[in-house]
Structure formats: C-alpha cells, structure tokens
Amino acid sequence: MKKISILAIAFSTFLISCDNQLASDRDPIEDKVDSLLAKMTLTEKIGQTAQRGTSSRVKGPLSEELKTAVREGRIGSLINVMNKKYVDELQRIAVEESPNGIPLIFGRDVIHGFKTIFPIPLGQAATWNPQLVREGARIAAVEASTFGVRWTFAPMLDIARDPRWGRIAESPGEDPYLASILSEAYVKGFQGDDLANPSSMMACAKHFVGYGAAEGGRDYNTAIIHEPLLRNVYLPPFQKAIDAGVQTFMSGFNELNGVPVSGNQFLLDQILRQEWKFDGFVVSDWNSVTEMIAHGYCQDEKEAALKAATAGVDMEMTSQAYDNYLGELIDSGEIDLAQLDRMVRAILRVKFRMGLFDQPYRIDKPEVVLSEEHLEKAKNSAVQSVVLLKNDNKILPLASEKKLAVIGPMADAPLDQLGTWVFDGNQKDSVTPLTALKESLGTESFNFVPALDYSRDRSELQFQAAVDAARKSDVILFFGGEEAILSGEAHSRAHINLPGAQERLIKELKRKTKKPIVLVIQAGRPITLENIINDVDAIVMAWHAGTMAGPAIVDIISGKANPSGRLPISWPKSVGQIPMYYNYKNTGRPASAKTFVGIDDIPRGAWQSSLGNESHYLDDGFTPQYPFGYGLSYASFSYDNMTLSSDTLSEGAEMIIRFDITNTSHLEGVETAQIYVQDKVGSITRPVRELKGFKRVNLKPLEKKTVEIIIHTDDLSFYNGNNQLVLEPGEFSVFVGSNAQATMRKDFWIR
C-alpha cells in the first residue's frame, strides 16, 4: 500500500508540475482574451468581425452612424480612414465610450511605400535583395503609422506566371523560393522587431491563395491548381510569412478548383490552422464574402456568412453579411457560438499582440514622412531594381559628351512612374527622369520632345518634331512604357506591347535618323518587344520605380550606378507564348535547339513530320525573350571551378556548392549568382529546374571570389501525388550561373 501511495504522490506532483509548466508556458495574452471575451455581448462579438470601409477620397465630417456603430462596439476595424483627426476621434470613441473599450485597427493598402514610394513589388523583386525590401517595408510602416495605419494589406504573395494579369505588378514574380525570401523580408519590415511598437504595421499575407493563376491572366478569374502544384509552388511564400510572424491573412476573390477561397475550409482551416497552426486572423478581401453569390456558390448573403464563417474568415472586409446574419445563424444553431468565439478570440489576440490596449493612439511624427533618408533608400531600391536587358555595342553607359534626344511619354510622367497601388503617394513628390536629366546634365545638353502625351497616345502629330530633335543628337533616349492605370487590380491586358503609337514612333525614328536608340521602359509588367527589338540598341527595364525613379534611371544610364537587377519573371517574346516560366516540366517531347526549325526556315512542301515533333511554337520557338534571373551588367562575369562537397547525400545532409566568379571587366559590379536544382526522376514529374539559392556578389575590376551556397536535403523535398512531403532518392543536377538557363552543372545522388 505504501508503495502505491508514494507513486500516487509522485504522479500527482508530476501533474502539478506539468500544470504549472503549462500555465507558465501559456501566453498571458490568452488570459486577457478569455476574460475580455467573457464580458462581451453577442453584438460586440459580431462587431469585432466587421471591418467597415470608407473610401479615402470621402471628404466632409465623420458620419454619426459610423461613430454610433463604433460607440456600440459594432465595428472591429476600419479601412481607408486617412484623416488623422478622424482616426483619433474614432479611436477615442472606441476606447473611452464603447462597452469594453476595445481599440480599432486602422487598415490601409501600403503596398510599396506610403508617402515615399518605392518600386512596385515586381520591381523590388528584381533587386533579389531581401535586406533592401525589408528596409523599404520598415520605412513604409514608420511613415504610415504616424497616420494611424497599423495594418497594411501586404505583402501580396501571389505567384504569377502570366504578365497579362495586371496584378503581376504587385507580385513577387514566378518563383516560390525568391517569393518566400521576399515574403519574410516584407513581414519583418512592416512589423519591425516589436509588433506592440506604435511604429509597427501589422502585415497581411494575401491573397490566400491561387489568385495569380487566374485563367488567361484575367483578374478575379477561375484558378484550377492541382494540390501538389498548390503545395509546391503557390503555398510556400504564405507558409514563410507565418514563419516570419505574420498576424493576418487575406482570403482572395478567386475560386480555387470550384470553391471560392473566401469560403474554402480546406484552405482556411485544414491548411492554415490545422497544418500550419496559424493563430492570427483571416480577413476577407473587399466584398469577397458576398461575392460568393455571384460565384454561384452561395444563394444569398446569409449563406455567404454561413460558408465564410464556417470556412475560417474571421473578419469581413466592407460587405456586411456577418453584421446582418451572424446573430441569426447563431440563434438558429447553424453556427455555434464557439465558432464565433474562436473568430473573435483570434482578432482580440492580435489586438493585444499589437499593444493596442496599452497604446491605442497614433504618434504623430510628420518629420519622418518623405525624409531625405527615406528618399535616398527609395532611390537605392529603384537603382537596384533596374534590369539591363540589352546593350548592343555597349552603348550604355552613355558617354557624357553625347548629345541626347529625350523622347517619349514616360520621360516626365510623375504620376505614372509611381505605379499601381499608390493611394497616399503624391506625384508632386516624384522626381522624373526629365527633372533628373536637367539636374545632372543641364537643360542645354539635350533636346526634349515627348512626342506622345501619355502611354496610350496614338497621335502622330509630334513625330516630325521628335525626328528633328533626334537628327540634332547622337543618341535617342526613348522613355516608353505603361501609364500606372494599365497594371494593377482589374487591369489585365490581352496585348502587352508598348501601347499607343510608341512602337510606330520608335520605328519612325529609326527609319528616318538611323540614330542609336536606348529604350527605357517604365511599366508594371514585362512588355513584349517582338515588333521593335531590332530597332533599339539598348533596353533598360525600370518597372514603375516610385518617387525617385528619375534619379535612379539617370544614375544607371550615365554609369554612375552599374545595373544589378535580375528578372523575377520570365519575359515572353509574345503574348502567344504565355504562360512561359522557367520551372516548367520537361514533357515527353522536350524542345531542342538542335532540332528546332523556325517558321521562316521551313522548306516549302515540307514533309509533315520533318520538323521534329517536339513541344515548341513554329514561330516563337520555345524560349522566352529573356529568362527568369536574367539581367546584364556594365561589368562582365565568368564562372568556373564548380565543385560539390559531396556527390552523394543522405536525408538530413547538407551540400556545399562552391564556384569561382571572376569580374572580367574594368568596372566594379554586382553579380547575382543563382543555384538551380533538377530532380531528374520523381514519383510525379518534376520541373526541369528550381531555384534553390542565390547570392549577390560585389566584385571589383578583375576580382575573383569563391562563392559557397549550401543546400540541405530539406530543400529538395516536394509534395508528391499523395500530397505528402517527401525526399525521393535518385539523381539530381545542380546548375550554377547568372539566370535560369545556366549551364554549368554537376550531378549528385540522394541515396
């Protein structure tokens, strides 16, 4: 008996210590959430799930209805309240007059800068520089939080393979590895080191998930993605956002495999919460809950509320299905009160983590907005985002004595150079290329004839003036591209060449003057160049590079800065090639340069099967205009001496890939060395190569450096046909080089 009692005492002591341990492990915020939840009425709980929208363009006094709703605890968050006084008044009402004083979260789309505008995210992705992206996000948070914005609906993490899609401008590009690294940079930049710091701005991983796979690149359209592809390509950047501490997700507009993502329990519950253990909250996209009616997935708003809440949308952005029907659904038992409590608990948890209960009010710091430091950082980001695509006869950098003809609709377009999703940036702060040229070269050193007033301008009335200016010059500097409105949400294009009469103007200039043409493109997407590629001698892709686009572009073309940008997206020859991406499958009949016969080389009366039955286009072949990862420098680099630390790996092992890079030029430059791996045989077909590492290497003239990149067998795991994460034995190849077509290769085995 004695022995048993000793055991019993020991066991109960053990249990008590476990409880104590659990109690000490329990986040104190959970207790605060529970005690607050216990005091809330059903109306207040439903109120927390409501994000009320206002257009930031609305002027005039705050509506009494809105103030009353806040006072009664019927609103949890507000979007687009950009009047500091309104922010302060609404927060004061929430904190001092609502039943439990629960603070509001003020949200805003601060996508690539607030007042100091950085390059569009696709441009920032072209820097391949996560530290720079993180700094830019931090600056955006520091500026926006002074206006009371403590929640941004960014980063947008939608993998995009179709440049017709307008929102490719906001995306991190086509590759999950690069997108995941940028995801972490954005989240840590926006949120800072302490989410409770008033200068922290909570990030939001969006649009969960598959929005970038919209059919035909038509925005909001159907996405069909089989699960292994979803898990291997589209989900990783979102999972990385959780690892980086993101507190909110946004469910998108699109349907995925027949179920709208804002009502998709597989995504919002099984993956996000069961598998990934996400404990922040999910906000719907603008009206995406009630849009499930238009999708034909919900009969009415009541069913939309039921399906969204059941699936895992915690907060409803702008539509009011929750406002109108959650109470009824709870009363009828179609939704358990426990489900609503879980939603509200997630929202309150995040509000506590943001320190809003301790510090609900914004801290005004007007001096940080558009500071010299911020503008310099924005310029640096713009410089590093620029991709040099073509540079025949090394016409760039321009020799200072060259007489320039500055032509084109984007030379002096202060609004358009900011790009899409710039609600708070102001064109009056923009420094355009024309302004920068005047400041650096003086107004006498070039002739400026826009010739087209805006990117879509079809008028040829100024063509002759442009030709005259060109005839008096040595080099034509043509600023072309897209107005900001031609990319971004709902702005997909079926043709993605230079709009308006830009191509005609370029051809006219070439035909009539024979002068060399440097084309500087400012656009929100890759621009097909098939009609003019042979008329221009150099091509510089500057994306929409933000407030400091002008000084950045001039630094690049003058040689003050050496271009280091690399494409985060494959650049197609034509729209007909789309989708064109680097991590494609080999197929059973892969195209080959050895056998390919281009359409102009096909003999008349050719025998039907004489052209090689392989996967290509007779006209546009099988390779992009420029591959993923591509970008030229004014310097030149060579790779050699590639070695692997081992040619056989077992699970859990690491491998060091070592190689030398030599700057073979007399100019300092940055090379972004890239590592691609091919899993040659798999239980499902595997991409011909996947980016698994990269390093930005600065090299002085003629300098050689040995570079090491480590990969781990975990990097080679993938989701198989049964959606299991597996590492499969077999032969692999690793390629090293300056873009996705790298050829330097070593093989190794996983045993």
Catalytic positions are 285
| 488 vs 568 by CB, closer to ligand GLC | 488
Compute the distance between CA of residue 266 and CA of residue 637 in angstroms, rounded to an integer: 47
Count how many residues are written for the chain: 751
Q: Tell me if 445 sits within 8 A of 398, measured CB to CB.
A: no
Compute the distance between CA of residue 590 and CA of residue 576 in angstroms, rounded to an integer: 18
Q: Least distance (Å) from ligand GLC to the CB of residue 167?
A: 8
Any contact of residue 206 with ligand GLC (CB under 6 A)? yes
A 10 A CB-CB count for 338 gives 9
Any contact of residue 54 with ligand GLC (CB under 6 A)? no
Q: Tell me if 551 sits within 8 A of 436, measured CB to CB.
A: yes
Q: By rule CB under 6 A, what string of x and - marks binding of each residue 690-709 to ligand GLC?
A: --------------------
DSSP-based three-state secondary structure for 478: strand
Q: Please give the residues from 579 up to 618 whose contact with ligand GLC meets the rule CB under 6 A.
A: none
Compute the distance between CA of residue 574 and CA of residue 338 in angstroms, rounded to an integer: 53
| 220 vs 630 by CB, closer to ligand GLC | 220
Compute the distance between CA of residue 714 and CA of residue 654 in angstroms, rounded to an integer: 9
Q: Token pair 């290769």 is at which residue?
A: 745
User: What is the DSSP track for 583-594?
Assistant: S-B--SS---TT
Q: Please give the residues from 278 up to 317 whose contact with ligand GLC meets the rule CB under 6 A.
A: 285-286
Q: Least distance (Å) from ligand GLC to the CB of residue 286?
A: 4
Any contact of residue 219 with ligand GLC (CB under 6 A)? no
| 206 vs 349 by CB, closer to ligand GLC | 206
Report how far apart, in Å, the C-alpha atoms of 634 and of each of 556, 564, 667, 680 are.
10, 9, 7, 36
| 228 vs 488 by CB, closer to ligand GLC | 488
Q: Least distance (Å) from ligand GLC to the CB of residue 285?
A: 5
- DSSP conformational letter for 504: H
| 260 vs 414 by CB, closer to ligand GLC | 260
3-class SS letters over 196-224: CCCCCCECEEEEECCHHHCHHHCCCCCEC
Q: Please give the residues from 458 up to 517 whose contact with ligand GLC meets the rule CB under 6 A.
A: 489
Cα Rg of the chain (Å, integer): 28
Binds ligand GLC by CB under 6 A, chosen from 153, 628, 694, 735: 153
| 177 vs 253 by CB, closer to ligand GLC | 253
Single out the residue of 472, 484, 470 nearest to residue 518, CA to CA.
Answer: 470
Angle between helices 130-145 and 176-191 (to 10 degrees): 30
A 10 A CB-CB count for 427 gives 16
| 206 vs 544 by CB, closer to ligand GLC | 206
Compute the distance between CA of residue 151 and CA of residue 190 in angstroms, rounded to an integer: 9
| 203 vs 536 by CB, closer to ligand GLC | 203
Judged on CB neighbours under 10 Å (0-12, 13-18, 19+), 16 is exposed
Using CB under 6 A as the binding criterion, the count of chain residues that bind ligand GLC stands at 6
Compute the distance between CA of residue 539 and CA of residue 518 in angstroms, rounded to an integer: 6
Q: Tell me if 235 sits within 8 A of 723, measured CB to CB.
A: no
Collect all residues with Cβ–Cβ distance below 8 Å to 174 and sequence separation of at least 6.
Answer: 159, 160, 161, 568, 569, 570, 581, 582, 583, 628
Binds ligand GLC by CB under 6 A, chosen from 109, 174, 255, 671: 109
Q: Least distance (Å) from ligand GLC to the CB of residue 76?
A: 16
| 286 vs 617 by CB, closer to ligand GLC | 286
Retrieve residue 103's tokens.
């603070």
Q: Least distance (Å) from ligand GLC to the CB of residue 207?
A: 6
Q: Least distance (Å) from ligand GLC to the CB of residue 94?
A: 21
Q: Least distance (Å) from ligand GLC to the CB of residue 343?
A: 20
Binding site for ligand GLC (CB under 6 A): 109, 153, 206, 285-286, 489
